Amino acid sequence: MHFVAANPAFEARVRASFARQAAMRFIGARLADVAPGRCTIELPVHPDLSQQHGFVHGGIVGMIADSAGGYSAFSLMPDDASVLTVEFKINLLAPARGDLLIAAGAVVKPGRTLSIARADVFARENGRETLIATLQQTLMVMQGVADEPT
Amino acid sequence: MHFVAANPAFEARVRASFARQAAMRFIGARLADVAPGRCTIELPVHPDLSQQHGFVHGGIVGMIADSAGGYSAFSLMPDDASVLTVEFKINLLAPARGDLLIAAGAVVKPGRTLSIARADVFARENGRETLIATLQQTLMVMQGVADEPT
Amino acid sequence: MHFVAANPAFEARVRASFARQAAMRFIGARLADVAPGRCTIELPVHPDLSQQHGFVHGGIVGMIADSAGGYSAFSLMPDDASVLTVEFKINLLAPARGDLLIAAGAVVKPGRTLSIARADVFARENGRETLIATLQQTLMVMQGVADEPT
Amino acid sequence: MHFVAANPAFEARVRASFARQAAMRFIGARLADVAPGRCTIELPVHPDLSQQHGFVHGGIVGMIADSAGGYSAFSLMPDDASVLTVEFKINLLAPARGDLLIAAGAVVKPGRTLSIARADVFARENGRETLIATLQQTLMVMQGVADEPT
């Protein structure tokens, strides 16, 4: 699906908001691509992120998928709106291992009050990418709420 | 619901597995209580965990809820089994702010192949606890799979 | 959790709305109890509702759980609002067999725009009730929208 | 994604199983297309299926989406296996109105024990199709379990 961004400065807005997410910086995630209704987040794998079997923790996979879906939705929102995750559901399909995780978010249906998005997460290992998780998500458009902390 | 643990050493087993989750240590989470089919994880709030509005990132809330539900299920599993999250769904109900997050997991239905669990997450602010998230989750019992990395 | 209904005529309102759900009548479901933030729907099991193994179809189980959660939320809404399911997630825990299914809904968090509810579904077989499904759901409060078809 | 069916008689097997789902016949659903890892179910809209606003009940939409995803997964399973829905999550995106609902299922990841599928539901109104719901689902492969009632 192809969308048109209501705000021509959508990319700068998404990048500024992502930069305010201390949690993304803390785990080492970076914002790769931003397009209207789409957003890709990359996370280099490091040992601090692992669960008991040595793979990346499913909750960390959920974090980048949640942010990828959320910023996909945010890219289509007007200038005076902010985004909030209402809920998400994620299936973990394969162990999160390799050197890089890539969460690719995409809006399914933008709305005035709620937006629905998806995100697929891939793990890159030895130059090969495997789908390791898929997320379905409901986001709220908060009209008139600044994206900065107050 | 009340459950009986198949493995009398269930608490030591849960604590050893949790200690192997580097990701929990990385975000500062600690395992509080363990009982048959129940598990509580606590996370002191700190600025590194925040999203763009200054609250704890929903993905971080998902991480501790996922682990709390998963270890609730693991507490009922036999000695030679390991646990894996198949999927989870989380509703974020209120901003995650305050000084401490508490994720209380509980098994809904234990099974031979799959277990179903829930977790509620509370935020403690000025001594008062508020329900901020609720998770429903499917876990896989991996028979004959060691809980340690191989 | 205990809630107070904003509308004193909440029960009559829920019953009138349920009576307008042709789909509930079609499958043979009836509204049992209504309380503030709670609602129980019963469905006598009959062969027309079965899937390929002879149990009640999971989608039928989802239908009564969805309505039970939805009317739990509706019971707390003001007189000029209507309810809409945004999304639901259901785990099917055991085969739906016996003579009666009972879906017990309960609000987790009522809100001005969104409400979160749960529903547990039990199957009664030989006088014994078994938990067969559990649902978690997001509902929208549609302010100023009549509950009747326009 | 393109899949190869393990059982060359996959289509006959899916059609025989669907024919045993009394619930699908009861609501008037028919199996349209079957391909390896894909399945489409159609449901002519009629007043018996409606909710209080006169649209098709969300639970009915969930029923056909659940079956479309489930039979997509079943099409890839070996001859001696049966399928069971573990859980599904569905977002209802727009009112289900028009003359025909079309649920298009597709496998995301087939597995030996669990398969993950999706389904999109479209409503056809005045010759135009609108996406009205999207489902994400976990299914269990029951090895050595006949698909017929015992």
- The reply to whether D134 touches chain A by the CB within 8 Å rule is yes
Q: How confident is the model at residue A147 (pLDDT cuts 50, 70, 90)?
A: confident
**Interface check C93 vs B, CB under 8 A:** yes
Would the pTM count as exceeding 0.95? Answer: yes
Cβ distance of D109 and A116 shorter than 8 Å: no
To which residue do tokens 């028009």 refer? D98
Residue C95: pLDDT band (50, 70, 90) is: very high
Residue-wise pLDDT for A41-97, tens only, equals 999 999 999 998 899 999 999 999 999 999 999 999 999 999 999 999 999 999 999
The answer to whether C82 and C147 have CB atoms below 8 angstroms apart is: yes
Which positions 18-37 of C are in contact with D (Cβ < 8 Å)? Answer: 18, 20-26
* Averaged confidence pLDDT in chain B: 95
Question: Of the candidates C91, C94, C108, which has its C-beta nearest B134's C-beta?
Answer: C108
Supply the pLDDT for residue D146: 80
Q: Say what the pLDDT of residue C33 is.
A: 98
pLDDT (0 to 100) of residue C150: 58
* Mean of pLDDT over chain A: 95
Residue listed under structure tokens 């998963």: B70
Q: Under DSSP, is residue A15 helix (H, G, I), strand (E, B) or coil?
A: helix
If you measure CA to CA, which chain D residue comes closest to A136?
D136
Q: Hey, are the CB atoms on C62 and D67 less than 8 Å from each other?
A: no
CB contact under 8 A, B138 and D86: yes
* B109/C131 touch (CB, cutoff 8 Å), yes or no: yes
Tell which residue, B99, B43, C56, has the closest CA to residue D149: C56
Q: Which residue has the higher pLDDT, A2 or A58?
A: A58
Percentage of chain D modeled with pLDDT above 70: 99
Complex ipTM value:
0.95
Relative to beta strand C100-109, strand C81-92 is unpaired
Taking an 8 Å cut-off on Cβ atoms, the answer to whether C89 and A86 are in contact is no
- pLDDT band of B145, cuts 50, 70, 90: confident
How sure is the predictor about A145, in pLDDT bands with cuts at 50, 70 and 90? confident
Q: What is the model's pLDDT at position B147?
A: 82
pLDDT digits (tens, 9 = 90+) for D38-84: 999 999 999 999 998 899 999 999 999 999 999 999 999 999 999 99
Contact between chains at C86 and A138 (C-beta distance less than 8 A): yes
Residue C3, domain member (yes or no): no
Quote the CA–CA distance of D115 and A46 in Å, as a whole number: 29
How far off is chain D from C17, nearest CA to CA, in Å? 6
State the pLDDT at residue A148.
75
Q: Are C61 and C96 in contact (CB under 8 A)?
A: yes
Task: Residue B93: list chain C partners with CB under 8 A.
Answer: 108-109, 116
Q: Which of these, C116, A50, A95, A91, lies nearest to B137 by C-alpha position?
A: A91
Residue B28 zone, left/alpha/beta (φ > 0; ψ -120 to 50; rest): left
E strands, chain A, where? 30-35, 38-44, 81-92, 100-109, 114-125, 128-143
Average pLDDT in the C79-93 region?
Answer: 96
Task: Report the pLDDT averaged over residues D105-120.
Answer: 97
Residue D149 pLDDT greater than 80, yes or no: no
In the DSSP assignment, the letter for residue D6 is S
* Average pLDDT of span D131-138: 98
Q: Contact B89/D86, CB-based, under 8 Å? A: no
List pLDDT tens digits, range C101-114.
999 999 999 999 99
Helix (H), strand (E) at residue C9: none
H or E segment at C130? Answer: strand C128-143
**Which letter does DSSP use for residue B4 in this model?**
-
Q: What are phi and psi of D92, to 5 degrees?
A: -95, 115
Residue D37: is its pLDDT beyond 80? Answer: yes
**pLDDT bucket at B28, cuts 50 / 70 / 90:** very high
What is the arithmetic mean of pLDDT over B27-32? 98
Write down the pLDDT at residue C52. Answer: 86
Domain contains D24: yes
DSSP of C15-79, one letter per residue?
HHHHHT-HHHHHHT-EEEEEETTEEEEEEE--GGGB-TTSSBPHHHHHHHHHHHHHHHHHTTS-T
Quick one: closest CA in B to A146, which residue? B53
Which residue out of D13, D21, D26, D51 would a mutagenesis test of the C interface target, given it has the greatest number of C Cβ atoms within 10 Å?
Answer: D51
Find the helix or strand (DSSP H, E) in which D37 lies.
Answer: none
Would you say residue D21 has pLDDT above 70?
Answer: yes
Answer yes or no: is C2 within a domain: no
Q: Do C138 and A140 touch (CB under 8 A)?
A: no
Nearest by CB to A23, which of B18, B48, B150? B48
The answer to whether position B17 is within a domain reads yes
Residue B112 contacts C where some CB pair is shorter than 8 Å: no
Domain interval for residue A76: 10-143
**CATH code for position A58:** 3.10.129.10
Short-list B96, B110, B108, CA closest to B64: B96
Provide the 10 A C-beta neighbour count for residue B145.
15
| Angstrom distances, CA of residue B145 to CA of A94, B23, B140 | 16, 21, 11
- Class of residue A97 by CB neighbours under 10 A (exposed 0-12, middle 13-18, buried 19+): middle
D141: amino acid identity, one letter: V
- pLDDT score recorded for residue D150: 59
CB–CB contact D114 B89 (8 Å): no
C-alpha C118 chain-centroid distance: 9
Position D114 pLDDT exceeds 80: yes
Residue C5 is assigned to a structural domain of this protein: no
Tally of structural domains, chain B: 1
Q: Determine, yes or no, domain membership for D4.
A: no
Partners of residue C121 on adjacent β-strands: C103, C133
In the block, tokens 């479901």 appear at C29
Position D1 pLDDT exceeds 90 = no
Q: Which of B52, B138, B140 to mutate to test the interface with A (most CBs of A within 10 A)?
A: B52
Name the β-bridge partners of D40.
Answer: D104
pLDDT at A52: 87
Q: Which residue of D has its CA nearest to B113?
A: D113
Confidence at residue B150, expressed as pLDDT on a 0 to 100 scale: 59
Tell me the average pLDDT of chain D. Answer: 95
Q: Given a contact as 3+ CB pairs under 8 Å, which chains touch C?
A: A, B, D
Tens of pLDDT, residues A81-137:
999 999 999 999 999 999 999 999 999 999 999 999 999 999 999 999 999 999 999
